[in-house]
Amino acid sequence: MKNKNYPGSALLTVVFITAFMTIWCVTIWRGASLLYETALKRQEYEQNYRATESIISCGIALCKKEYKQFIQLSKNGQKDFFIELENMPVGNRMRTGRCEISVDGEILFLKATLKKDDEKSTEISCAMLPYQIKDDDEVYETFAVKHWNISSQ
């Protein structure tokens, strides 16, 4: 028997294969672009978190150094303090950071906020408590940093 070719069958085959390959390529391209966007968002989150972490570390270091002064000022009526950090390089942008310190008795509450375009993007807060370590005959004064809270927008 002789094989009969119908008119337009080759064209129909080419259109079908082209459509299949187009759908396949667009699906691969979409998946790759979503993966890339996810990686960029993750990088932005990490940069904001690290910058906010550096702000709260600065606040903790200041509180350790000036603890007695903060307690004395709070007894005189001033219970809230803040540190404003402008032009912090975060990624390829400049951001503003703020660390608020509140005194309640012997406990210091710290809240670090990184602002992005006049709205807060990342916030870390914690509490510092005076702590004593007793080692044989010596007593060491130090601080316990507790109750960490992290929020991000």
- Predicted TM-score of the model (pTM): 0.74
Angle between helices 9-65 and 67-75 (to 10 degrees): 70
pLDDT digits (tens, 9 = 90+) for 46-93: 888 888 898 999 888 988 888 888 888 888 888 888 888 888 888 778
Q: Which residues contact 102 (CB under 8 A, 6 or more apart)?
A: 79, 80, 81, 108, 109, 111
C-beta of residue 149 within 8 angstroms of C-beta of residue 124: yes
List the chain domain ranges: 9-152
pLDDT digits (tens, 9 = 90+) for 18-34: 999 999 999 999 999 99
- DSSP for residue 5: P
